Amino acid sequence: MPARFDKLEGATRSLADAVAAELAGAAPLGVAYSGGVDSALLLALAVRALGAENVVALLGVSPSLARSERRLAHETAAFIGARVVEIKTHEGENPDYAKNDVDRCFFCKDELFARISDEVVAAHGLAAVAYGENADDAKRPDRPGSQAATNHRVLRPLSVAGLTKLQVREVARAIELPVADKPAAPCLASRIPHGQAVTPEKLRQVERAEEVLRELGFTDGRVRHHGDIARIELPTAEIARAAQDGVREELQRGVSAAGFRFVVVDLRGIQSGAFTLPLLQVGTRA
């Protein structure tokens, strides 16, 4: 079933129209796309405004993108009716990215936008490139990737049109996007503390450990990489389940098999920006 643009009415229609106004004259458009709700909604609204033939989803692929997220991104784009072009990115080869300072995301986004500029814009005759920053993201101090977007003149239609995260989800639900309520899924590198090198091996450990969480039925979860220790963040309502007989043993076994010696559950639950915000002296709760 394609996105239900006919379901837009009232406030959600006004928000969609505001995004469409920001996209006027931007065809053909490339959308930097991850498959999360922000970029998926932008992709859908671009298709609504410009037509599917004038929009292409640009999916950056590297070891920091979990395979499950890659599959879901393709499924969501197919639902929207948009074609996907995968772009191999090599941010891990950049020492400034690998050393994992608080500006790591800048180098990741800079790599993606640079490759789009160098390899994709001319090949697909793109007039513009956009990405899914929302109005809430624009206010956060832990989003250095936004500077890369500015440097490469990448459009941010959701943010400029004033859509908050809550409104993004409201419009996504209205058009029945399957990822409308999808939890945030930052890249795998975000699980490694700043100052500790990002390596393909660590990313694979995190990916496999988080697969275990999904296999055990947890609705969300992140595995923070602390050397031999896997620190698991779960929704607070699901923390107790991790200690239940059967689940506890499978969790220990599976995460240990991913390459960790110790497995712990963080009683604070899931924390957005857990590694970056403290260094910026900002509270860590999302």
Cis omega (within 30 of 0) on the bond before 28? Answer: yes
Q: Are 156 and 131 in contact (CB under 8 A)?
A: yes
Distance of CA 218 to the CA centre of its chain: 19
> Going by C-beta distance under 8 Å and a sequence separation of 6 or more, which residues neighbour residue 129?
29, 30, 31, 32, 58, 113, 116, 117, 121, 152, 154, 155
Q: Are 5 and 50 in contact (CB under 8 A)?
A: no
Phi then psi dihedrals of residue 128, to 5 deg: -160, 165
- What residue spans of 86-238 are helical by DSSP H? 95-98, 104-115, 121-124, 145-151, 157-160, 165-174, 200-215
Which residue type does 12 have? T
Round to whole Å and give the CA distance between 149 and 154.
Answer: 5
Q: Are 163 and 95 in contact (CB under 8 A)?
A: no
> Going by C-beta distance under 8 Å and a sequence separation of 6 or more, which residues neighbour residue 72?
35, 179
Give the angle subtended at the CA of 154 by the CAs of 148 and 159, to the nearest 5°.
95
Active site annotation includes 108 = no
Round to whole Å and give the CA distance between 44 and 55.
Answer: 9
Catalytic site residue from 8, 47, 135, 187: 187
H or E element in which residue 60 lies: strand 55-61
Active site residues: 187
